[in-house]
């Protein structure tokens, strides 16, 4: 058995960053407060002292500027990892992301590659109100030309950084901010995971629960509650939101004949809607009930804790949605 180390999600990301920096001199990290402060979520703590200011670069508070600089560095042969503090701030760089990073390979006829990795915190649940609680990864999954990852486990938090750096085109990693204190066992000798595949986190034959990122824990909790009611829930962790592992989704639904999609984004125009369409197109004859969705309430995120909890998906809401299918 390989030796594993217990660490938090934030420590696992740091482990992946450290290995990448040690193994490839082209890799550098840039973003707001990543250096002297150690990162807004303490992910890059200690890396400035270990690797120096050439490779751990603090940037001005200008997302369009430093994402653009990352694109330029990638075009020039470097392997930049750009940290955007939280997903809402990424909107300030959407022109660079959509019109440059995602399109330059296509518009150059394959002559230019943009091997850029962009990391950011996403999601609600921390009482940071409407401007800092977005789950916009589904927006990014809409864009051709990029890969979108959502590590939900401590192991994936580390491994997906390494996997992203092997890609020739831009990769965006969405780290749910409530997961940073999560603890788990990590094999630091393990190589990058296969980011083309979803993961079955729990086997079951009665209903498929499809989710990703910060909602995985709630979904597993719901599956435990459903087991007490003799409903075997299979839990699919998508892991990669673009491209979706549609084969894994359809295979599971073909076995269970029911599906619930759990997505912290708003319901309208959501990734959950896309997954529902995938199931309807590819597994309609297998379904014994309509596809159900559990999403956040269609409102700006409240600040008050009890209202925020009411707005977000929960294990109880997932259980209720599953019961409605039987």
Active site residue ranges: 63, 132
Written as one string, the DSSP assignment of 162-218 is HHHTT-SS-EEEEEEGGGTT-EEEE-TT-----TTS-EEEE--SSEEEEE-GGGHHH
Please give the Cα distance from 81 to 166 (Å, whole number). 12
Distance of CA 219 to the CA centre of its chain: 16
Please give the Cα distance from 14 to 10 (Å, whole number). 6
Which residues lie below 8 Å from residue 168, measured CB to CB, with a gap of 6+?
113, 115
Please give the Cα distance from 154 to 148 (Å, whole number). 18
Q: Contact 241/212 with Cβ under 8 angstroms?
A: yes
DSSP 8-state symbol, 101? I
In what helix (H) or strand (E) does residue 158 lie, and over which residues does it extend?
A: helix 154-164
Closest CA to 250 of 223, 272, 271, 281: 281
DSSP 8-state symbol, 318? H
The position carrying tokens 């075997």 is 232
> Using CA of residue 240, residue 245, residue 246, residue 249, what is the dihedral sign?
negative
Please give the Cα distance from 283 to 249 (Å, whole number). 9
3-state secondary structure of 66: helix
């Amino acid at each position: 058995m390989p030796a594993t180390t217990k660490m938090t999600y934030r420590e696992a990301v740091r482990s992946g960053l450290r290995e990448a920096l040690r193994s490839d001199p082209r890799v550098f990290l840039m973003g707001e407060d990543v250096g002297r402060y150690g990162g807004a979520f303490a992910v890059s703590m200690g890396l400035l002292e270990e690797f120096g200011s050439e490779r751990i670069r603090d940037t001005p508070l200008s997302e369009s500027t430093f994402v653009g600089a990352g694109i330029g560095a990638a075009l020039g042969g470097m392997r930049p990892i750009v940290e955007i503090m939280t997903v809402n701030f990424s909107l300030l760089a959407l022109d660079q992301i959509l019109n440059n990073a995602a399109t330059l390979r296509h518009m150059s006829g394959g002559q230019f590659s943009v091997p850029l990795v962009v990391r950011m915190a996403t999601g609600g649940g921390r009482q940071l109100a409407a401007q800092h609680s977005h789950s916009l990864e589904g927006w990014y999954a809409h864009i051709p030309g990029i890969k979108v990852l959502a590590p939900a486990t401590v192991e994936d938090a580390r491994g997906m950084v390494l996997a992203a750096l092997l890609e020739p085109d831009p990769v965006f990693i969405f780290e749910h901010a409530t997961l940073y204190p999560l603890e788990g066992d990590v094999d630091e000798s393990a190589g990058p995971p296969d980011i083309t595949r979803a993961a079955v986190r729990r086997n079951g034959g009665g209903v498929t629960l499809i989710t990703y990122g910060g909602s995985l824990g709630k979904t597993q909790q719901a599956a435990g509650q459903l087991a007490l009611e003799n409903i075997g829930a299979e839990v699919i962790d998508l892991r990669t939101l673009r491209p979706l592992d549609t084969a894994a989704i359809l295979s599971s639904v073909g076995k269970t004949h029911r599906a619930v999609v759990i997505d912290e984004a708003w319901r309208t125009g959501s990734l959950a809607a896309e997954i529902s369409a995938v199931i309807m197109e590819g597994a309609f004859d297998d379904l014994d009930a309509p596809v159900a969705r559990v999403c956040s309430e269609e409102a700006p995120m409240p600040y008050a804790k009890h209202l925020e909890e009411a707005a977000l998906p929960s294990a109880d809401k997932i259980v209720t949605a599953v019961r409605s299918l039987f």
